[in-house]
Amino acid sequence: MLKRILIAFENLGESESLIRYSQIFQEKFDVEVVGIYIKDIRKYEVVPPMAEGIIIDSSNGFAMKEWEAVEEKKAKEIKTKYSESYPSGKFIIEDGIGLEKISEKMKAFDMLIISKGEYINSNLKTILKFHTKPIILVPNKIFSKFEKPLFLDDNGIRANSSLMTFVNNFNEIYNFDSLTFGKEEPLDQLLKEYLELKNIQINRKFEEVIGNIKEYEEKYDMLIMGNLRYNFLVERLTGKFGVKILENSSIPIFIA
């Protein structure tokens, strides 16, 4: 059962989607919502561009002060936006390396909600590779109702783990449509018995070839999928479907 969720912010533009989506959980599941913005110290190490042919010497502290000012302004703007919806809610602002700080903070949370941009950046890649708690990736400008999920089932361990984690956290949702790309296969008998014990109903659908997932996204408000088996480069080079879903999905994605 969910008790506390963490919302990780990176940009002001994505804040509205993250906040509105997190409000669904607060209203439906009565959870504590905490926001976080990490002022990434790696940004201070970027060598500034040349000015009139002269490279600015960052050792004098000028470049770092400029970056600090920009980060401080961004953090305050996001916190202000967050406080409009959560006047008494906690909002954490810290310096550090984003992915390391978020991983550390997640020890005290049940789930992470984070924005999914058009492209998966390095921070999100690392979080997806090493996370130990459920994650929901939220596309910008999407306001889902969290009522009808679609389970993307590759008959793998990771997908099964995501579904079971989803059920254990949101036990009022027990009827799922599942989609498998590949040849139709019967459920393992032990798995079938286990699903019956858990009162989980799965309506299985099969597609022989990988089609356009957006055709299904019009009917559902969330995808449940397993974590990537390999790193992003391998997945992309081998044409694995996981990366395509992560980058192209227009609805939130649950991964555990």
Identify the DSSP state of 50. Answer: E
Q: How much of the chain is helix, strand and coil, in % rounded to 5?
A: 45, 25, 35
Tokens 């993250």 belong to residue: 18
Alpha-carbon span 115 to 190, nearest angstrom: 37
Which residues does residue 135 pair with via DSSP β-bridges, in sequence order?
112, 255
pLDDT of residue 110: 95
Tell if the pTM clears 0.85, that is, is over it.
Answer: no
Task: Specify the amino acid at residue 144.
Answer: S
Residue position matching structure tokens 């700080």? 101
Domains of the chain in sequence order: 1-143 (3.40.50.620), 145-256 (3.40.50.620)
- Cα separation, 170 vs 174, whole angstroms: 8
pLDDT averaged over consecutive 10-residue blocks of the chain (256 residues)? 91 91 88 92 53 49 74 93 94 85 90 83 72 88 79 82 90 87 84 90 83 78 76 41 73 90
How far is the CA of 21 from the CAs of 65, 109, 140, 144, 194, in angstroms? 34, 17, 10, 7, 32
